[in-house]
Amino acid sequence: GALVKAGKVRGIGLSEVSVATIVKANAVHPLTAIQSEYSLWSRDPEDKVLQTCRDLGIAFVAYSPLGRGFLTGQIKKFEDFASDDYRRISPRFQGENFQKNLDLVQKLEQLAAQKGCTASQLALAWVLAQGDHIFPIPGTKRIKYLEENAGALNVHFTKEELTTINTIAPKNIAAGLRYPEMMMKLIDA
- 114-165 per-position pLDDT tens digit: 999 999 999 999 999 999 999 999 999 999 999 999 999 999 999 999 999 9
Q: Domain segments of the chain: what residues? A: 2-184
How many whole angstroms separate alpha carbon 69 and alpha carbon 173?
Answer: 17
Exposure pattern of 65-94 as b/e (b: 16+ CB <10 Å)?
bbbbbbbbbebeeeeebeeeeebeebbbbb
- 76-118 per-position pLDDT tens digit: 888 888 888 888 888 888 889 999 999 999 999 999 999 999 9
How many whole angstroms separate alpha carbon 49 and alpha carbon 28?
Answer: 18
Q: What is the 3-state secondary structure (H, E, C) of 116-130?
A: CCCHHHHHHHHHHCC
Under CATH, what is the fold of the domain 2-184? TIM Barrel (3.20.20)
Exposure pattern of 149-167 as b/e (b: 16+ CB <10 Å)?
beebeebebeeebeeebee
